[in-house]
Amino acid sequence: MPATLQRLPAIPTATKSAGASAEVRTLIDVLIAEQKQLQTPIARYSDYHDREPDLAPHYRTLIPLSKPGDGEQYAFEVSLDRCTGCKACVSACHSLNGLDDEEAWRDTGVIRGGRDTPGWQQTITTACHHCADPGCMNGCPVGAYEKDADTGIVRHLDDQCIGCSYCILKCPFDVPKYSKKRGIVRKCDMCHQRLAEGEAPACVQACPTEAIRIVKVARSMEQGAEGKRKAPSFLPGAPDPSITLPTTRYVGRDIPESAVSGDRESLVPQHAHWPLVLMLALTQAGVGLLAGAQGHEVLTILATLIFFAGMGASVLHLGHPLKAWRFFLGLRTSWLSREILAFSLFAPIPPLLAALPYLPEFPFKALIASAASYSVIPLGLIAIFTSVMIYHDTHRTSWRFPLTAARFFGNAASFGALAFLIARPSPLATLIFTAVVIGKMIPELRIIRLSDDRNADWTPDIHTARLQRGPLGTVMDGRFQIALIAIALSLVNPWLSLPLLLVSELLERQLFFQSVYAPKMPGNFGPARAAH
């Protein structure tokens, strides 16, 4: 209770004497007078700015005055008890860095207390965490990221970027942002040019409550139990910090361990990534058809066309495809680089097998045909394995290895079984095709059934199931119904099953991307915006 109210005597009643009126101060009068004296953080900041026009010395108290020493780096420190969610930091970052209208390198969100403390909530401001082991840098196939040896700042090299967006998938905090205007990814660089001149970053300088500052922290990677990396204390309700070891420090207020992101349960489908949908479904279908063709000339030609249609679609996902030749720069750490290499090694085989029957006889023709035929399965499996690892390596629960492998290898196996049925029709071949297609759908159905229990605690798998039963229900129904029709038509004419199976697998791959739970920093209570 304010001190002015504590000193108030009992509220008198208004009295009037004859010929004069006495003004009596009521409790409401006191409260109104007190409100006139209160100032918001913005107003106090404005008054201070008016009194001290040159604020450079003040801002230098919010950044270190010396460079990090050995084993140290710069990091953001956020005082939770000072953050009001005013978004001044977001606006300043956007203005200073000249970002596009829909582009933001700093965001604000909300975490709430969860079941244990349902009335608790806290606003959060977040940008790049300049991790000790950056996922974005490790995943980039062309070396478009670097971690500064002196400051530890993780910088994105715009002129090297090919716009593949794999760093967006690799970052568990949804930090890199795709710029459609430029066809590349960009992100926060802690205003490193300003820091080099002793000036505070835009977000630090703009915060009226001084909730953001730059500090020096250790960047060592400690080992925990069972050899796992031990991450520093981070933010309850945020993604697992052990994945990349973020350096941002959140201080100033105790957070309940049950705290969760305010938008965790928003059922908003993710970006469909249509070029990747086509690339994955068609290349795997082409590998399967080629493996099961058994020398069938028409099937071999069709498999070649489908495979290269998928390869062509993959180029559409790149903002700067002409720079993709530098993929070898990321072979040591990036599964995307390894996928490009694996499919490049496989690519000559389909056209070679399709062309050999029509070429005149020449020495070693039979040997070349035999070597190419025997290479289809091992090289095809290796290429598909690299695709599996690309998504497993993002640490998204719905893309974990068993589920992703079942989808990707199951796709190739389904088309391989169908090709075998077309090339060697028999009741046994029909039974194998039916078993493979149904077997591939079983893991998908097991995930969908999780949505039936409305009282179950939230998990990423339940989130995926609710997306597929809710906003993506039409796509899910179409995927299974068309697959069953393809099985039925295989009893009549297996050629009729081919286009239907292809459509079904394209819908399955759409669900793969759109129904995944994508980890990110806490957002608002409203619907989250799907990332590129």
Neighbouring residues of 50: CB distance < 8 A, sequence distance ≥ 6: none
pLDDT score for 144 = 95
* Cα distance between the two ends of the chain: 50
Kindly state the average pLDDT of the residues 360-374: 90
pLDDT score for 526 = 46
pTM assigned to the model: 0.86
CATH 3.30.70.20 residue ranges of the chain are 56-261
Q: Is 67 helix (H, G, I), strand (E, B) or coil?
A: coil
Q: Which CATH architecture has domain 56-261?
A: 2-Layer Sandwich (3.30)
Confidence of residue 118 (pLDDT cuts 50, 70, 90): confident
**Looking at domain 274-514, which of 1.20.1630.10, 3.40.50.700, 3.90.1310.10, 3.30.1360.120 is its CATH number?**
1.20.1630.10
Confidence of residue 102 (pLDDT cuts 50, 70, 90): confident
Does the pLDDT at position 476 exceed 50? yes
**Contact between residue 129 and residue 76 where contact means Cβ atoms under 8 Å apart:** yes
Going 261 to 265 to 268 to 270, the CA torsion angle's sign is positive
Average pLDDT over the chain reads: 87
Does the pLDDT at position 213 exceed 70? yes
pLDDT score for 237 = 85
Compare 230 and 303 and report the one with higher pLDDT.
303
Which tens digit of pLDDT belongs to each residue from 272-305?
Answer: 999 999 999 999 999 999 999 988 999 999 999 9
Neighbouring residues of 105: CB distance < 8 A, sequence distance ≥ 6: 93, 94, 97, 99, 127, 128, 177, 186, 187, 188
The encoded tokens of residue 469 equal 């039963």
> Considering only CA atoms, which of 152, 154, 179, 185 is closest in space to residue 167?
185
Which tens digit of pLDDT belongs to each residue from 381-437?
Answer: 999 999 999 999 999 999 999 999 999 999 999 999 999 999 999 999 999 999 999
Confidence of residue 5 (pLDDT cuts 50, 70, 90): very low
pLDDT score for 43 = 63
pLDDT score for 233 = 74
Kindly state the average pLDDT of the residues 187-193: 94
Compare 492 and 16 and report the one with higher pLDDT.
492
Kindly state the average pLDDT of the residues 35-58: 63
pLDDT score for 304 = 97
Distance in angstroms (rounded) separating the CA atoms of residues 433 and 426: 11
Integer angstrom CA distances of residue 365 from 5, 18, 370: 100, 125, 9
Does the pLDDT at position 223 exceed 50? no
CATH 1.20.1630.10 residue ranges of the chain are 274-514
HSE of 74 in the Cβ direction (CA atoms, 13 Å)? 27
Report the percentage of the chain scoring pLDDT > 70: 87
pLDDT score for 246 = 94
> Considering only CA atoms, which of 94, 109, 45 is closest in space to residue 203?
94
Going 398 to 177 to 330 to 150, the CA torsion angle's sign is negative
Query: What radius of gyration, in Å, describes the C-alpha atoms of the chain?
Result: 30
Kindly state the average pLDDT of the residues 40-44: 60
Distance in angstroms (rounded) separating the CA atoms of residues 438 and 452: 21
Going 276 to 141 to 171 to 84, the CA torsion angle's sign is negative
Which tens digit of pLDDT belongs to each residue from 18-41?
Answer: 444 556 778 888 887 777 676 555
> Considering only CA atoms, which of 446, 443, 438, 377 is closest in space to residue 412?
377
pLDDT score for 47 = 67
Does the pLDDT at position 16 exceed 70? no
Kindly state the average pLDDT of the residues 513-529: 77
Kindly state the average pLDDT of the residues 170-183: 93
**Contact between residue 321 and residue 315 where contact means Cβ atoms under 8 Å apart:** yes
